[in-house]
Amino acid sequence: MIKRLEYIDAMRGLSMVLVVVGHVLFFAFEDAGNVLFRVLNAEIEVPLFFMISGYLMKVPEHRYVSFFQKKAFLLCVPAAIFMAVYVWISGYDYLSAWIDSFKYGYWFTFSLFEFIVFYVVLKYAARKIKLGFYAEQLLLFVISVVVLFASARCKRHEYNYAIIPLLGLTQFKSFIYFVFGAILAECKSLGNKLIHIKLNSYSGGWFFIFFIVSHIYTYKDGGINYIGSFTLWFALITISGLLALLCGFKQYVSWSTSWVGKRLQMVGRYTLDIYFIHYFFLPRNLNMVGEWFKANPNPLIEYVFALLIAVVLIAVSLFVGRIIRLSPILAHWLLAENKNYKK
């Protein structure tokens, strides 16, 4: 059995908390102008999830078909079922949900599956042409940059061609973070001294400084006016923030003893439960809150208020997840739990 890494579970927990907070601000408050939302959520939450997924990626040596089958069941089958139920309850059209870049909220696991398939294919090709370690990592990163710009191109035409939102091609802008996480993991596992980044407090501090200074430089003329991380510059800004978080979380040693640490780890272990379930309990009638904060700006207070609501949503989602897991059949199909799962 693979030993869980406490700081990785905690980072996944943080990312999930940010996702729910972002959904409260965007869907409940209908306020996407909050500066903390634009930086922490629009730039960090999803890239952090993808970087962690890449960091944990294990490419099989053979039996690719069975590997893809397991990943498809884990990531796509529960998402498709929950999306169908959500669409039915909300009175939406199921076909429209598929031809939507965000799949009515359930896009992430579909895109993650696509990233995994694409990455494994690239690794397989690199093995076949027998590239050296440095050449392979460079090729993967260059391809991820090309994909970043190609995704930006798709963004301009997503309403003209249904195939673009159907396949979630605009979401491939985040593939670079998945690849970056995978490269970090490979460098760490091989103990490569030349390009392995030392994940300590000192380097984390420099990454954080670059993250702050780059934001000041980028937005100095018009303040925060988010234009999306479709370019390499914005990707590098985000990567610096992700590295600062990774360094900080890796150096913290009290995950098993601190109250916050233990809660973040718990959330991190059940991210799929929270992700799939929280949409059903997300309040959609709090737009008056967003309007009030637009008239009386206080980003920090608004964000804390959204965080409190998010904590309740997470607790409810975890509770519902526990109920679902009481049935091995439901746990298997809805949460991709082993069908022989025992409480």
Total tally of structural domains belonging to the chain = 1
Share of the chain above pLDDT 70, in %: 91
Angstrom distances, CA of residue 141 to CA of 95, 148, 182, 183: 35, 10, 10, 8
Angstrom distances, CA of residue 248 to CA of 200, 255, 341: 7, 12, 35
Residues 214, 265 contacting (CB under 8 angstroms): no
Average pLDDT of the residues in 308-324: 97
Domain containing 80 equals 57-200+230-239
Predicted pLDDT of residue 63: 87
Q: Which residue has the higher pLDDT, 230 or 174?
A: 174
| Residue 114 forms part of a structural domain | yes
| Residue 299 forms part of a structural domain | no
List pLDDT tens digits, range 112-132.
Answer: 999 999 999 999 999 899 988
Predicted pLDDT of residue 339: 53
**pLDDT at residue 277 tops 50:** yes
| Residue 32 forms part of a structural domain | no
- Concatenating the DSSP letter of every residue in 105-143 gives GTHHHHHHHHHHHHHHHHHHHHHHTT--HHHHHHHHHHH
Predicted pLDDT of residue 216: 80
Predicted pLDDT of residue 285: 85
Share of the chain above pLDDT 90, in %: 67
| Residue 222 forms part of a structural domain | no
**pLDDT at residue 195 tops 70:** no
List pLDDT tens digits, range 329-343.
Answer: 999 999 988 654 443
| Residue 155 forms part of a structural domain | yes
List pLDDT tens digits, range 10-46.
Answer: 999 999 999 999 999 999 999 888 888 988 888 899 9
Please report which confidence band the pLDDT of residue 140 belongs to, taking 50, 70 and 90 as the band edges: very high
Rounded to the nearest integer, the mean pLDDT of the chain is: 89
| Residue 156 forms part of a structural domain | yes
| Residue 214 forms part of a structural domain | no
| Residue 181 forms part of a structural domain | yes
